[in-house]
Structure 1
Amino acid sequence: MRDDVDGLTVGQAAAQLGVTVRTLHHWDAIGLASPSERTPAGYRLYTAPDLDRLRRVAIYREIGVALEDIRAILDGASPEAAGTLRAAHAQLEERIARLNRLGSGLERMIAAHERGVPLADEVQREVFGSGWDPEQARGAREAYGGTRQWRQFAEAAADRTAEEWREVADRVAGVERSLADAMDRGVAPGSAEADDLVERHREAFSAYFPLSRQMQVCLARRYEADPGFAAHYDGIRVGLAAWFRRAVDESARARGIDPETAVWE
């Protein structure tokens, strides 16, 4: 045993390589990469050549090469070393592609949580119509960003394509046209036809987030009371916001829900 031994302890080597001490002990136990020196006190040390081998083991292991294949490659005992590394490279490329896809999905999820509709402004206008104001969606984040419904909306919105958004918008618009037609024909709130339209509205709106019947009561009342919503519905047909609110109230009563005490839940 020499007194001038220079090297790193197991803990120091593990810290430098970014692996655990347990991992180095395992590689040592199976004879894959072992410290070749000892201190005068008997502590095992990794020398510079030892560390070079450890770095190569760590790199190969990180890209998915099996430990036995690593041993064969490093010891020059693998006639198929290039093939083994080529296969590992292909797996690494697929892993990178998968992570890139995950990253893109995460970016869309962040955009959905922050902005509501993760589409460029011009695409939003194309999908929802020239009268659509993307600032309204961003404003909704300020008003409702802390709610469960906003989180549900964002989760659904993150993976939705422009075409899928168009389908949602068309479905909701179709229900609104049917509501206006029913009002024009004198369909009475509380009738079977009005009740069916209320259910169609609830199903179509649930593409944004799940809408309970109690929540629908609250929403219909806001359609009538809020100037922006009222202008939208009365722009389709004058008086539609009030007619729809009455239809929703009657549908709720038929199911044992008192519209006067309905809450957003």
Structure 2
Amino acid sequence: MGYTVGQVSALAGVTVRTLHHYDTAGLLRPRQRTGAGYRRYDDADLARLQQILFYRELGFPLNEIAELLGDQQVGALKHLRARQRQLAEEIARLQRLAEAAQRAAEVQATGISLTPQERFEVFGEIAFDLSYATDAQLRWQDSQGYQEAMARAAAHTKEDWAHLMAESAAWRKELLAAFDDAEPADGERMMDIAEGHRLHLSRWFMPCPPRMHQRIADDIVTDPRAFALVVPPSQQRPGLAACLGEAIRANACRRATAGTPQTPSTAHEDE
């Protein structure tokens, strides 16, 4: 007796209307009909339908599927290889779109209201990694300090960013000089440089008491994405991140020993 159109629809997961369309287009004409003219599909019809659905999944239009089913040897191989190349190109295009979306999201996540050209002019090779910005947002989004930092970053003008980046470059020059001179991480010179970094963050982003600065140091030491925000890869040296982290911790201890008071606006960050 074969299978009714309703049964084939249920088995294959396609609509009855689609099966009727395949029949009208000559792509899948059931081999049998009842006396009343109703369609009846046999096992060979179901096998052909399976091939049609496979090619549809690959994105072939119906006219090409008809050609493929009519030539199961060399012609089919040629079509499949051509489709493989098309899919590879589409994957590459989607990857480019994903990267473009990532860069656009990066701008939003960092809260920096600059055009791409302005960002290049101001930041140069300092790059913001979207994954790090996203991680930071997930970790600190409920923190008053993080919210303040994002608000202040968003409010900075191009001139503000140019000023703070120049300040950062000057600080980085001191850090690299001290490291190249083999200054000890817990020495006065390195601790003063660490203090300069803490004050820079407080001045431009959010109050940064010593204990918060120590948490930032942990990221600098353990996460290359965080260290790249401080020292671009082209200027990094082996051991520099660890040295800076140790200097920040030593400076925090020095300030604690000196009994440096914390203002009410920063004390909550250490809780």
**Larger relative contact order (CA 8 Å, sep ≥ 6):** 2
Give TM-score, length-normalised by structure 1: 0.48
Normalized per residue, which structure has more helix?
2
Give TM-score, length-normalised by structure 2: 0.47
